[in-house]
Amino acid sequence: MASRIPFALIGPRALPAGATVVFFVVLITVLLLSSVSCVREEDLSLEQRAHQLAGELMCPVCDGQTIDGSSAQISQDMRAKVRERLDAGDTNAEIKDYFVVRYGSEILAAPERSGFNLLAWIVPVVIVIGGFGIALITIKNMRKSATQMPPTSAELASASESEDDLTDYLAQVDRDLGIAPKTKTQSKPNASDEAKS
């Protein structure tokens, strides 16, 4: 029981709550950090913004590529157009709108966060939070049933059979494992050597 001392602080009963708190602290930190990471567009050079925008617009003639990634002629033209609009002083949103008007909403590499498309962004959050909830409840239920669990076959065996009945067999097990009978603790290194040989 001495080994439990380090846990006196949190205590076994409090562990689940502790684990949950730790998880949510990490999760929230990550989420906060990722929102911080949205660098404001005025802090970026025009070239960086052009590069960023090119990664957010799809190449209309390629399969699943952004114009940043494609060497098709139309992508080159679109990249030039992006740069032209940026030089003219347009905001990122205005440039995206410019392309949406001409090519439709599928030109955007990620759906907008509004209207029906909001679904695309909400469902992942629901999946993550719901999934985590299910995992927690599963563990909790498994822990609850720990007390009601019938003993395993091994435990039954040890209960029903007196060790004497099994003496011969135990000796055989120890021989198989390379343990000399009745000297369990000191023969430990032998046993692990055996496992490796």
Write out the binding residues for other proteins, residues 13-32 only, by CB under 8 A.
15-16, 18-19, 23, 26-27, 29-31
CB nearer to other proteins: give 94 or 173: 173
Nearest partner of 34 among 124, 94, 95, judged by Cα: 124
Check: CB of residue 62 under 8 Å from CB of residue 45.
Answer: no
Residue 58 lies near other proteins (rule: CB under 8 A)? yes
176 binds other proteins (CB under 8 A): yes
Residue 108 binding other proteins, by CB under 8 A: yes
* Beta strands per DSSP E along 1-152: none
From the CB of 93, what's the least distance to other proteins, in Å?
A: 14
- Verify binding: residue 102, other proteins, rule CB under 8 A: no
**What is the sign of the dihedral through the CA atoms of 93, 98, 101 and 103?**
negative
Each residue 135-174 as x (binds other proteins by CB under 8 A) or -, in order, gives x--xx--xx-xx--x--xxxx-xx--x-x-xx--xx-xxx
Of 121, 119, 89, 95, whose CA–CA distance to 108 is shortest?
Answer: 95
Q: Which residues pair with 58 in a beta bridge?
A: 66
Asked whether position 33 contacts other proteins by CB under 8 A, the answer is yes
